[in-house]
């Protein structure tokens, strides 16, 4: 198969769909890999790295799209990229179609087959191609929160680990899923006094079993949340209710009960945020002040560490990419129902029910589409 990887063109996106290691594996499997020049530069990969892996470098995205049987990317195709997709071509990337009718209609009109990273599943009910980015955002959250807490950035001027004779920062993590667990581990590793809140007793039991006394955990109610938030130097928002906007767990009025200069890191901002005062920010201008509380609400946190994020995403996508290339998408999806769950669009038909419901478009069962 000819596998193509264009340079990402969405603003501030520095990741790339294929690492040189992924390109090497694909070449070893007998495939041809075509990379747009400088595609990996933002993640620290040079054209020469891809050439050494056996890939071919081309000058333009047009050449990648015109040549490749499968396009491997990171972000959803932008309007100019969608125009280059063609009938029978396979697209493997993040899509997030439900809030994006323009993209959905363009993909349907192109006749391509599109498999979305975010809807591929695994045996434990997780989303294996979303999890690496939650891991990155979770581990980054205390790091950005610690920076936000610095006096020059408007914060309280509190050091995460304290020093002998001075206590550590108090960190509250709301939501103990993938983001929250990784955030709590790193915050505890920095020496902070960490408490994780969650609504799932099973999750709390898991955290207790696995992490013991590394950090505390508590059942999340409105009362327990505000009690902990009042004493916190840093609050990390990491809740998720699948398919719904994030619940607002702290109101604007409640900010006045917090310590002046405390930091809020709202990782759940990509689902609307779990604080009433959260609004999405960018890496160029990441923090703002509401009533003396510093907010960090970057919606694409993994972009800050594009190299780590690219490699983590590549590790997760590579086995699926190889299966698609080795077997063709139909056989790969027939062999793996979790990959079939990633099928969102095929030959002008929508094949993912939640997207169909969100956009009012008829859906053809993926099981039917894969056998067509």
Ligand X SMILES: NC(=O)c1ccc[n+]([C@@H]2O[C@H](COP(=O)([O-])OP(=O)(O)OC[C@H]3O[C@@H](n4cnc5c(N)ncnc54)[C@H](O)[C@@H]3O)[C@@H](O)[C@H]2O)c1
Residues involved in catalysis: 96, 270
Cβ of 282: how many Cβ atoms within 10 Å?
13
| Shortest distance in whole angstroms from residue 124 CB to ligand X | 11
Cβ of 257: how many Cβ atoms within 10 Å?
13
Residue nearest to ligand X (CB): 177
Contact (Cβ atoms closer than 8 angstroms) between residue 246 and residue 146: no
Contact (Cβ atoms closer than 8 angstroms) between residue 248 and residue 271: no
Phi-psi region of 212 (alpha: psi -120 to 50; beta: other; left: phi over 0): left
- Reading the block at residue 57, the tokens are 């470098």
Map tokens 């056996």 to a residue: 54
CA dist 43 and 38 (Å) reads 10
| Shortest distance in whole angstroms from residue 186 CB to ligand X | 14
| Shortest distance in whole angstroms from residue 330 CB to ligand X | 30
* Residue closer to ligand X, measured from CB, 169 or 268: 268
* Residue closer to ligand X, measured from CB, 76 or 270: 270
Decide: residue 90, CB within 10 A, 0-12 exposed, 13-18 middle, 19+ buried. buried
- Binding footprint of ligand X on the chain (CB under 6 A): 133-134, 137, 174-180, 197-200, 203, 220, 238-241, 246-247, 249, 267-271, 299-302
The SS3 of residue 162 is: coil
CA dist 153 and 144 (Å) reads 11
* Residue closer to ligand X, measured from CB, 202 or 362: 202
Contact (Cβ atoms closer than 8 angstroms) between residue 362 and residue 356: yes
Per residue in 125-141, is it b (16+ CB within 10 Å) or e — as a string? eebbbbbbbbbbbbbbb
| Shortest distance in whole angstroms from residue 326 CB to ligand X | 30
Residues 6+ apart with CB under 8 A from 112: 85, 86, 87, 88, 89, 90, 91, 345
* Residue closer to ligand X, measured from CB, 95 or 239: 239
* Residue closer to ligand X, measured from CB, 137 or 258: 137
- Reading the block at residue 52, the tokens are 């050494």
* Residue closer to ligand X, measured from CB, 273 or 366: 273
Q: Where are the beta strands (DSSP E) in the chain?
A: 2-5, 32-36, 56-58, 70-72, 90-93, 113-116, 170-174, 193-198, 216-219, 234-237, 263-266, 287-290, 293-296, 343-346, 349-350
Contact (Cβ atoms closer than 8 angstroms) between residue 40 and residue 46: yes
| Shortest distance in whole angstroms from residue 316 CB to ligand X | 13
* Residue closer to ligand X, measured from CB, 116 or 197: 197
| Shortest distance in whole angstroms from residue 302 CB to ligand X | 6
Map tokens 């920095």 to a residue: 190
């Amino acid at each position: 198969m000819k596998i193509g990887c264009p340079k990402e063109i969405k603003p501030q996106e520095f990741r790339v769909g294929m690492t040189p290691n992924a390109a090497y594996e694909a070449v070893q499997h007998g495939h041809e890999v075509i990379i747009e020049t400088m595609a990996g530069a933002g993640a620290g990969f040079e054209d020469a790295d891809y050439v050494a892996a056996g890939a071919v470098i081309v000058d333009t995205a047009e050449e990648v799209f015109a040549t490749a049987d499968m396009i491997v990317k990171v972000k959803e195709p932008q309007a100019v990229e969608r125009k280059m997709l063609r009938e029978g071509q396979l697209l493997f990337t993040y899509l997030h179609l439900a809030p994006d009718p323009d993209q959905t209609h363009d993909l349907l009109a192109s006749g391509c087959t599109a498999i979305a990273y975010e809807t591929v599943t695994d045996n434990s009910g997780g989303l294996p191609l979303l999890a690496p980015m939650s891991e990155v955002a979770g581990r980054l959250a205390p790091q950005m929160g610690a920076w936000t807490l610095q006096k020059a950035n408007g914060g309280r001027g509190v050091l995460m680990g304290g020093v002998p004779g001075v206590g550590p920062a108090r960190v509250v993590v709301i939501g103990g899923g993938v983001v929250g667990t990784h955030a709590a581990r790193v915050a505890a590793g920095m020496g902070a006094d960490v408490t994780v809140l969650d609504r799932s007793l099973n999750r709390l039991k898991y955290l207790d079993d696995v992490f013991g006394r590394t950090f505390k955990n508590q059942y999340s109610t409105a009362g327990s949340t505000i009690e902990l938030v009042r004493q916190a130097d840093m609050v990390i928002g990491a809740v998720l209710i699948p398919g719904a906007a994030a619940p607002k767990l702290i109101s604007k009025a409640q900010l006045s009960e917090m310590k002046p200069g405390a930091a809020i890191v709202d990782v759940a901002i990509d689902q609307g945020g779990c604080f009433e005062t959260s609004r999405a920010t960018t890496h160029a201008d990441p923090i703002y002040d509401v009533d003396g509380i510093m907010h960090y609400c970057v919606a694409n946190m993994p972009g800050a560490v594009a190299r780590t994020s690219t490699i983590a995403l590549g590790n997760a996508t590579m086995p699926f990419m190889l299966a698609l290339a080795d077997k063709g998408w139909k056989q790969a999806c027939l062999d793996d129902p979790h990959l079939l769950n990633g099928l969102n669009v095929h030959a002008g038909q929508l094949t993912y029910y939640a997207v169909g419901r969100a956009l009012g478009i008829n859906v053809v069962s993926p099981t039917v589409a894969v056998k067509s």
